[in-house]
Amino acid sequence: MKDMRIAMISMHTSPLQQPGSGDAGGMNVYVLSTATHLARQGIEVDIYTRATRPSQGEVVEVGENLRVINIIAGPYEGLAKEELPTQLAAFAGGILQYARCENLEYDLIHSHYWLSGQVGWLLRDLWEIPQVHTSHTLAAVKNVYRSENDSPESEARRICEQQLVDNADLLVVNTREETADLIQHYDANEERIVVVAPGADTELFTPGNDRATERSRRQLGVPLHAKVVAFVGRLQEFKGPQVLIRAVAELLRRDPDRNLRVLISGGPSGPNATPESYREMAAELGVERRIRFLDPRPPAELVAIYRAADIIAVPSYNESFGLVAMEAQASGTPVIAARVGGLPVAVAEGETGLLVDGHDPSDWADALAQLLDDDDTRIRMAEDAVAHATNFSWARTAEQLAGVYSEALSLELPNCHGRRAQGR
């Protein structure tokens, strides 16, 4: 393993970008965290991403055995994620040029998300090395679970994902639920799917004592004796901040004197998303004084939000796993989440939190009230949440990924007469 060099590809969002804004989210955390721990094992990792600022420089030395390489493909700014397919050739060409000029040879490609997967598929054949691919989200699944106001994912994206399912040497998924999705929607070969659970930084995200919680609330301007519910993530329909806002309005309609405060930390994502739209919703529902909107925070500052909250709400319409839920539990905060995707794996129902069927604000208000009003259960769940989170660490994830890489390297690559189908 110590002699292995990996090319990771994360085209549309840099792992160094602040999660919670724009297109940066859980995938950024996943890529940087797994790469960091793989590098600690002695594996050399180069992460290729699209340059978005000239000040970034071409190469960022993140740590021993780990670099981020910024490839120029299209303008630095003003290019929406939906327009990035126009830059696939430029991005692939930039990687080839850099690797050639630096005399780099890689043992394996690990691509993340379908855009990177398409580039990785090309490089796989040019370099004649295996490709491991992680989708993170799937068009067919997002279209099934999207809210009625969300735009559907394109058929072009679904076709590109189908090509990757058919041609990547191994597919890494977060949960067995995701395996079932690949088989159902993409007719995937189960023998080429490997389940590797993501983790959390259990050294950073730790529970605080009463003094730490009090300090966190003072920093965030939250009343010390209020009950606090927090949302952390991108402000977009798919993540469900509107579900929480409407549920809070319903909760306060039932009990106007409830001492409740809500923290929503994140930035807008997508062409139609703005922080103002969610603030306007809160104002229209009469709860704007109970909700505080916070800018996206780096992980070291997110700890304060998790500790300040009595409950973390994750009302997403789908999650391949749910990193926010796991970080919250590691910080000693129970979670109320939608029963979708990998969230039933991330949250131990009845032990570390509650799961809600659907996104009806009334149902979410019921779940919030149940946990907010039962101090004994909530405190017990907070304690159990920490123990649950210890089963998920990035070091363990990286160790399993290293095993996947070894398996991929042992596979016989298809020759010209034995190629897999090139999509449908």
The per-residue pLDDT for range 274-289, each reduced to its tens digit, is 678 999 999 999 999 9
Q: Distance (Å, rounded) from C-alpha 82 to C-alpha 17?
A: 18
Domain of 231: which CATH number?
3.40.50.2000
Q: What is the Cβ-side half-sphere exposure of residue 277, based on CA atoms within 13 angstroms?
A: 13
* pLDDT tens string 334-387: 999 999 989 999 999 999 999 999 999 999 999 999 999 999 999 999 999 999
The answer to the question of residue 415 being in a domain is no
Do 306 and 373 belong together in one domain? yes
The annotated binding site for Mg(2+) is made up of 306-307, 309, 333
The answer to the question of residue 39 being in a domain is yes
Do 29 and 75 belong together in one domain? yes
Q: What is the pLDDT of residue 148?
A: 77
The answer to the question of residue 353 being in a domain is yes
Selection from 320, 308, 233, 317 nearest residue 278 by Cα: 233
Backbone angles phi, psi at 107, to 5 degrees: -90, -25
Tokens of 311: 């409950």
Q: Distance (Å, rounded) from C-alpha 6 to C-alpha 67?
A: 11
Do 163 and 244 belong together in one domain? no
Domain region containing 43 = 5-199+394-410
Q: Do the beta carbons of residue 296 and residue 21 sit within 8 Å? A: yes
Do 169 and 25 belong together in one domain? yes
Averaged pLDDT for residues 163-169: 98
Averaged pLDDT for residues 391-407: 95
Q: Distance (Å, rounded) from C-alpha 39 to C-alpha 32?
A: 10
Q: How many residues does the chain have?
A: 424
Kindly report the average pLDDT of the chain as a whole number: 92
The answer to the question of residue 205 being in a domain is no
Do 113 and 260 belong together in one domain? no
The annotated binding site for 1D-myo-inositol 3-phosphate is made up of 12, 23-28, 81, 113, 137, 157
> Which residues neighbour 395 within 8 Å (Cβ) at sequence distance 6 or greater?
37, 40, 199
Share of the chain above pLDDT 90, in %: 78
**Helix (H) or strand (E) segment spanning residue 225:** none
Structural domains of the chain, count: 2
* DSSP conformation class of 200: B
Do 124 and 251 belong together in one domain? no
Do 94 and 162 belong together in one domain? yes
The annotated binding site is made up of 12, 18-19, 23-28, 81, 113, 137, 157, 234, 239, 297, 306-307, 309, 319, 327, 333
The annotated binding site for UDP-N-acetyl-alpha-D-glucosamine is made up of 18-19, 26, 234, 239, 297, 319, 327
Do 170 and 222 belong together in one domain? no
The answer to the question of residue 423 being in a domain is no
**Burial degree of 48 (CB within 10 A; 0-12, 13-18, 19+):** buried
The answer to the question of residue 330 being in a domain is yes
Selection from 263, 227, 259 nearest residue 245 by Cα: 263
Residue type, 372: L
Q: What is the Cβ-side half-sphere exposure of residue 353, based on CA atoms within 13 angstroms?
A: 34
Q: 17 falls in which pLDDT band (50, 70, 90)?
A: confident
Q: What is the pLDDT of residue 423?
A: 40
Share of the chain above pLDDT 70, in %: 94
Do 272 and 369 belong together in one domain? yes
Backbone angles phi, psi at 275, to 5 degrees: -60, -35
The answer to the question of residue 399 being in a domain is yes
Do 141 and 163 belong together in one domain? yes
Q: Distance (Å, rounded) from C-alpha 127 to C-alpha 147?
A: 41
The answer to the question of residue 94 being in a domain is yes
Tokens of 264: 């929503």
Q: 271 falls in which pLDDT band (50, 70, 90)?
A: low
**Burial degree of 147 (CB within 10 A; 0-12, 13-18, 19+):** middle
β-bridge mates for residue 6, sequence order:
45, 108
pTM of the model: 0.85
Do 153 and 13 belong together in one domain? yes
Q: Distance (Å, rounded) from C-alpha 162 to C-alpha 15?
A: 25
CB atoms within 10 A of CB 160: 20
Do 260 and 186 belong together in one domain? no
> Helix, strand, coil: what percent of the chain each, to 5?
45, 15, 40
Q: What is the pLDDT of residue 416?
A: 58
